[in-house]
């Protein structure tokens, strides 16, 4: 089933309007039409080296739940792929649906996945901090990983077990050690394109790196995401579901693939 306009009515205020920004030419997310993507032999393999001890905490920011990392040094970085510099890991978070028929932000040949993981990195070579990098065309690099329904994901389970503690908006718990590379498929294949943040300020500062292979998670794990709330403790409860932005026009962009 596709996302009909009637569905926007049930979306969180943040995502109700198509939220196009005036003059936006590289907005995200987009549909990735596999046959229109162009193989680029000059794309390098993406090199991922995360230090699990840089993990700080999990918190519910009212849009998603995110796991934040200490980005004061180059201990957790990515390099290579389409990137000119190395980028530091800042946080990762997810987007998901109320049901398994949708939930991802990007689609592949118009197919939705039930959820999508975003690992957010910033260009610490050229910019002094994340906030500055957010405003620059080459400031951010986000790895997108699709989640599909299947076997239970043991690495994800450690996150799922912590979710009850961050059920309400603006709740946070310490999270000492976690290696997010366990959430990234070993298959090296990816698509890449120039895009934007998918929530305000929607800045056109993201080099997207979308992994071709999804990871498998089970129904209980997806259901655990859906027990989170958009609302703070004491407010009327609104379940945190459908926290994805509608698809944006490709405009004058080419999606490149690292694989034939």
Ligand X SMILES: C[C@H](CNC(=O)c1ccc(S(N)(=O)=O)cc1)Cn1ccc2ccccc21
Residue 88 has phi, psi (to 5 degrees) of: -95, 135
Structure tokens at 162: 């912590």
CB of 133 to ligand X, least distance (A): 9
Rounded to the nearest 5 degrees, what angle is found at the Cα of 135, between the Cα atoms of 129 and 139? 65
Q: Using the rule CB under 5 A, is 118 a contact of Zn ion?
A: yes
72 three-state secondary structure: coil
CB of 236 to ligand X, least distance (A): 25
Stretch that binds Zn ion, among 46-54, 96-104, 110-118, 200-208 (CB under 5 A): 110-118
Instruction: Looking at residues 173 to 202 of the shown chain, list those that interact with ligand X (rule: CB under 6 A).
Output: 197-199, 201
Angstrom CA distances, 36 to 30, 31, 33, 195, stand at: 13, 11, 5, 17
Q: 60 vs 198, which CB is nearer to ligand X?
A: 198
What gap in Å lies between CA 153 and CA 61, rounded to an integer?
A: 24
Instruction: Looking at residues 111 to 130 of the shown chain, list those that interact with ligand X (rule: CB under 6 A).
Output: 118, 120
Angstrom CA distances, 5 to 8, 18, 152, 183, stand at: 5, 10, 33, 32
Q: Using the rule CB under 6 A, is 131 a contact of ligand X?
A: yes
Which residue sits closest to Zn ion, CB atoms considered? Answer: 118
- Residue 30: name its binding partner from Zn ion, ligand X, none (Cβ under 5 to 8 Å by kind): none
Contacts with ligand X by CB under 6 A lie at 118, 120, 131, 134, 142, 197-199, 201
């Amino acid at each position: 089933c596709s996302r009909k306009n009637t569905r926007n009515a049930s979306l969180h205020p943040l995502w109700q309007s198509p939220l196009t920004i005036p003059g936006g030419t590289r907005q995200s997310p987009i549909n990735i039409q596999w046959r229109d993507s162009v193989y680029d032999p000059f794309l390098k393999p993406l090199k991922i080296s995360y230090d699990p001890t840089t993990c700080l905490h999990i918190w519910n920011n009212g849009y998603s739940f995110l796991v934040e990392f200490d980005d004061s040094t180059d201990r957790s970085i990515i390099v290579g792929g389409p990137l000119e510099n190395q980028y530091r890991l800042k946080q990762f978070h997810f987007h998901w649906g109320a049901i398994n028929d949708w939930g991802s932000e990007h689609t592949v040949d118009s197919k939705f996945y039930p959820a999508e993981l975003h690992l957010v990195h910033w260009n610490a070579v050229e910019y002094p901090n994340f906030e500055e990098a957010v405003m620059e065309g080459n400031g951010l690099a986000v790895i997108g990983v699709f989640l599909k329904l299947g076997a239970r994901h043991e690495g994800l389970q450690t996150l799922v077990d912590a979710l009850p503690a961050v059920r309400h908006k603006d709740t946070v718990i310490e999270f000492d050690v976690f290696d997010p590379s366990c959430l990234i498929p070993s298959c090296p294949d990816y698509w890449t394109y120039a895009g934007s943040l998918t929530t305000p300020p929607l800045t056109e500062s993201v080099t997207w790196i979308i992994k071709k292979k999804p990871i498998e998670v089970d129904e209980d794990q997806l259901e655990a995401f859906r027990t989170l709330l958009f609302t703070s403790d004491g407010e009327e409860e609104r379940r945190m579901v459908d926290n994805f932005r509608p698809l944006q026009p490709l405009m004058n962009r080419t999606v490149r693939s690292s694989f034939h």
